[in-house]
Amino acid sequence: MSVIRKSSLDILSVGKWILRRDCRLLSAVPEKVEVAEKAQEEIEKLSGRKRRFNNPVLEYRHVYPEFLPDPNPKWRNSLREKMERADMLKRRSQIDIPEFYVGSILAVTISDPHAQGKTNRFVGICIERKGCGLRAEFILRNVVDHQGVEVKYELYDPTIQSIQVLRLEKRLDDKLYYLRDALPEYCTFPQDMDPEMLPEGTPVPLNPVQVKLKPKPWLERWERQDLKGVSNIEEHLKEKDRVRRELRKTPWEKYDLMKQYRKTIPAEDQTEIWSEVYNQLQQMRVSRKKLSRKRLFTTPKPQLG
Amino acid sequence: MFRSLINRLSSAQTCGIHTTPSLNEVRLLTRLRVVDNSEIGKRAMAEGKPPKVICVYNKKRVGLIGDRVMVAIKGQKKKGILVGLKQNQKVKVPKFDSNNIVLIDDNGTPLGTRIHVPIPTILRTILKERTHAKGADYTKLLGIATRFV
């Protein structure tokens, strides 16, 4: 397990990269927002401070992606979505579902009728997060006793007792399915890992580690997926694979505005949703922070942050 | 040149190249991995001749977690229990990177004395349900497990 800590300069540049990527992802937001964001970025650069977004829409769609409905118009139903959001908030008032991303390392404790102590804890790296509303789910992967194990959890499952983020970070790709074909050291995490605390106000760090794949056969054709987090993909390819990759490329898709539009929720809809849930989410956040601070004061740990 | 390549590829695609991912089901003649320390299992795995399924004992003939299978291993017929699958699983049930099997005899007693990979906890309930008062006792397998996930 290798943790690459970057210097503060690097973190700044990474933050900028994330910003840029955000702009691209939110295709439906009018350009004004982007311009405003850029201006903010420049202000940040000038003042030399790291600050998070003030606009809740821009921040919350990454922190709470499951609050946005599926963009497919066939599956939209405003009443159902509203009820689901209410249920999600109710569940969130019961347990703390923290902010995490694909690539973060989580520990999930569930109450398991099959286990001896009636609880079951699993530690692993989040390789996939998908679904919206109450159907939101994520997959954790770990290598236990030299055996790769993956467990899928639903985020709003009532049997989940706690979700703990042991290391909050992002990776270079949106899905980490290639870890299944990577060398086992890249997804081996000890079950008794200690949570790493980030100082407050820092942006989520990006882990630029590039994994090494095992030789073929692979589970998928990774060479066609334009992965950034794999270093040795070219070693394993034959001439035939390279030719086919060239033939299968779709370079025009980044210009397909309609395709992007269909994949995203328009900014107007988003503001409606976020205005509905923002207050409660913010309240929960603040109260959780207070609670954790209290706990910190009662049991001070050495070397925080 | 490009067109000829495309033609060749498109003709190749009609020749039965599958583009959908495989289901990784345990069926007839699937190769499995023995995860206990029984002598025959260890030797078969070391020789690079993992056991093959020759029968799955359920109605659908597709093995699920906790199902009994008969395998051909080093020229012998042995029974075993599936303790971990590669196939996609339900929520909260672990999915493994290989199809794991523990060899048992007719009474349900495992041939080895230790299992060196994690075992899904749901297997406890499944094997208890499968065990009847007078038949084979499969829960002995849980006693030799080292770790549950």
Q: How confident is the model at residue B8 (pLDDT cuts 50, 70, 90)?
A: low
Average pLDDT, chain B: 89
B121·A219 Cβ contact <8 A: no
Enter the ipTM: 0.85
B92·A144 Cβ contact <8 A: no
Give me the mean pLDDT over the A174-182 stretch.
95
Indicate the burial class of B60 (C-beta count within 10 angstroms; 0-12, 13-18, 19 or more): exposed
Q: How does strand B33-34 pair with strand B68-73? A: unpaired
- Determine phi and psi for B103, rounding to 5 degrees: -75, 140
Nearest to B80 by CA among B33, B143, B48, B118: B33
B117·A146 Cβ contact <8 A: yes
DSSP A74: G
Structure confidence at residue B7 (pLDDT)? 56
**Contacts of residue B149 in chain A, CB cutoff 8 Å?**
120, 122, 144, 149, 151
Give me the mean pLDDT over the A175-191 stretch.
95
- Nearest chain A residue to B6 by CA: give it: A247
A303 or A4, greater pLDDT: A303
pLDDT of B95 strictly over 70: yes
- Determine phi and psi for B65, rounding to 5 degrees: -65, 135
Average pLDDT, chain A: 83
- Residue A126 CA to residue A124 CA, distance in Å, equals 6
Q: Are B119 and B84 in contact (CB under 8 A)?
A: yes
pLDDT of A17 strictly over 60: no
Mutation pick from B20, B85, B97 vs chain A, by most beta carbons of A within 10 Å, is B97
Gyration radius of chain B's alpha carbons:
19
Express each pLDDT in B102-114 by its tens digit. 999 999 999 999 9
Give me the mean pLDDT over the B36-41 stretch.
94
Nearest to B94 among A116, A150, A159 (CB): A150
pLDDT of A235 strictly over 50: yes
Sketch out chain B's domains with CATH numbers. Answer: 24-143 (2.40.150.20)
Give me the mean pLDDT over the A233-243 stretch.
94
Nearest to B122 among A114, A144, A220 (CB): A114
Q: Which residues contact B48 (CB under 8 A, 6 or more apart)?
A: none
